[in-house]
Structure 1
């Protein structure tokens, strides 16, 4: 038997999470059994819990959270890349039909996993998968960055944004990151931002004129959505590229036409939702490349100083939804 934290209904975190005992799950031929060491909070986790994304919820009682780091306990007959004792990490589920990582043990499709970077802790590794793959898809696969290009990242010290900032810098871009206070300014510059922009103090027109002589940025990556997506269309140059992770809104697309823009959306859980084998393999390959970058010291995860245990998951969700965190919130199992 194992302990798991489940939700049986939608609602506020203090009213939904419950600790129960469940049998340790069985694995199929393409899975590994993982002894969970850590997981992290992503917006999709608290949106599912609150009922904002009911179509993504696993069957009740649901075990949420996709990100996991841990130790392989057992492997299926088709698994060749991993063996018992390996330290692994990945984004494995926590969505419809697939339980997540809020438990002492979980199963995972081996194609979604990578071995952890040498010297990295379980808490650090658990912070990376969902946001890392999302940022990687945006910057390495969609942006087609040429060294010297000016790249604007909305949410420069957020979960996705702080890794996108580092990826863009690695590819030779001149990186501009939006921030909202002096502490974030220091963090963004430490991560490699060439310039920071306090979006509360400067209008889009002001910082476009200041940093691009009114021409606009070559690429804008929006990790926040809402008005920031509309602002991205304004901030990018003619025939430039806008990439977003949050396009769930009704937005005037006139500027896309008037400036002949290219718009990409990134939704990294598609391979998990639709059991896309090629997509799962790609996630594993992306994580392996991120692992190399972290081992080389080119990329580092930003962990919020406030951490939580499995039994403090409600407090972790409350903190995540407060908007006060910086980087990723990690839960130790």
Structure 2
């Protein structure tokens, strides 16, 4: 089969990621083999190629979002059969510890992000891939492979942030930072699904317009020095109930200041830096909640897929690249040229 493989690390994906012919994976008794029709890009693809912030198993196939058709099932598999349309759940956990059996597989001490920390040669950028039965979700017929791949990890992550962790409810004002990112574009739609007022941020006029199309009530440019003041003006100087955060150091203190009394900031990333500053007086005087969040449950992914099938959530797909051009997608991510999600088609060169 064809697969996008790299065997050494580099700051330039074009130097190391090559389309190779390798063997089709052999499945275990509890696994399914999937013909990959669509695979979506994530920033962890670049981390894997760079070898930073962690090393990954080599040789490596990246890709944490795969949608396609089941072509083989292991003898212990009971919930799937050949021909089923499926999407990957990228949170690989032990499924046995107290955290996992209590529904917190995202906190499992043995948790790995599939297609990033797994391997060798175990990810979505291949004609065929394999996953444990517990890490696969069925797709309704009206959800395309492209949409499923584009929404799977970012949708699950966004749902977990807003619903699982921040516990949003109707009437709240939610600030979605980076509204045209993968998680941000879904975060806007989830907050609107819960009848919240949404203020989104973006870094250009084009991206701001996309936020409006996704449903944001108000949009500000977070690259402008007075962006936080504009957010406060939109709330009649009351502040926001929830901040959906993944940008990090450059905006963190302003986000905390924007929270109402008892407000919640939930974060899943720090693309501008991890060493953010915090004035603790805001934390204790305002009774704030600062929450971390990563990945999500299979049940949360199923919830997102349900709402996609009902037309209430729609991933914003920047482009679909044929597999022969898939490395271009890594370069586009590096150059910050993507709005929403980028997808490739491993079964189509």
Same fold (TM over 0.5): yes
- Name the counterpart of 1:220: 243
In 2, Cα distance between equivalents of 1:95 and 1:291:
22
In 1, Cα distance between equivalents of 2:205 and 2:231:
21
Distance 1:175 1:205, change over 3 A: closer
3-state DSSP of counterpart to 1:135: helix
The yes-or-no answer on 1:291 pairing with 2:305 is yes
In 2, Cα distance between equivalents of 1:163 and 1:220:
14
In 2, Cα distance between equivalents of 1:97 and 1:142:
26
Summarize the alignment of residues 172-251 of structure 1 with structure 2, pairs less than 5 Å apart: 172-201=195-224, 203-247=226-270, 249-251=274-276
1:123 to 137, 146, 149: 146
1:9-63: CA deviation from partner (whole Å, max 9, x where unpaired): 11111111122222211111221000111111101111111121334x1x21111
- Contact 1:204 1:234 survives alignment (8 Å): no
| Displacement over 4 Å in runs of 4+ | none
How much does 1:202 deviate? 5.7
The yes-or-no answer on 1:97 pairing with 2:118 is yes
In 2, Cα distance between equivalents of 1:204 and 1:296:
34
In 2, Cα distance between equivalents of 1:205 and 1:317:
32
The yes-or-no answer on 1:80 pairing with 2:88 is no
Structure 2: tracts of 5 or more residues without a match: 91-113
- Name the counterpart of 1:23: 23
Number of positions where the alignment pairs a residue of Structure 1 with one of Structure 2: 316
1:163-185: CA deviation from partner (whole Å, max 9, x where unpaired): 01111111111111112233223
The yes-or-no answer on 1:135 pairing with 2:165 is no
1:235-279: CA deviation from partner (whole Å, max 9, x where unpaired): 2123210011114611223233443321111221xxxxxxxxxx7
The yes-or-no answer on 1:67 pairing with 2:65 is yes
Structure 1: tracts of 5 or more residues without a match: 269-278
The yes-or-no answer on 1:150 pairing with 2:149 is no
1:314 to 327, 338, 348: 327
- Contact 2:40 2:150 survives alignment (8 Å): yes
The yes-or-no answer on 1:264 pairing with 2:285 is no
In 2, Cα distance between equivalents of 1:108 and 1:22:
18
- Which region of structure 1 is more displaced relative to structure 2, 112-121 or 78-87? 112-121
3-state DSSP of counterpart to 1:132: helix
In 2, Cα distance between equivalents of 1:253 and 1:290:
33
- Name the counterpart of 2:278: 253
- Contact 2:148 2:305 survives alignment (8 Å): no
- Contact 1:34 1:71 survives alignment (8 Å): yes
How much does 1:204 deviate? 4.4
- Contact 1:204 1:235 survives alignment (8 Å): no
Normalising by structure 2, what TM-score? Answer: 0.86
1:198-217: CA deviation from partner (whole Å, max 9, x where unpaired): 22336244224312232310
Normalising by structure 1, what TM-score? Answer: 0.90
RMSD: 1.7
- Name the counterpart of 2:52: 52
1:70-107: CA deviation from partner (whole Å, max 9, x where unpaired): 11011122322211001111244112334101111110
- Contact 1:204 1:231 survives alignment (8 Å): no
- Name the counterpart of 1:273: none
How much does 1:117 deviate? 3.3
The yes-or-no answer on 1:325 pairing with 2:338 is yes
- Name the counterpart of 1:276: none
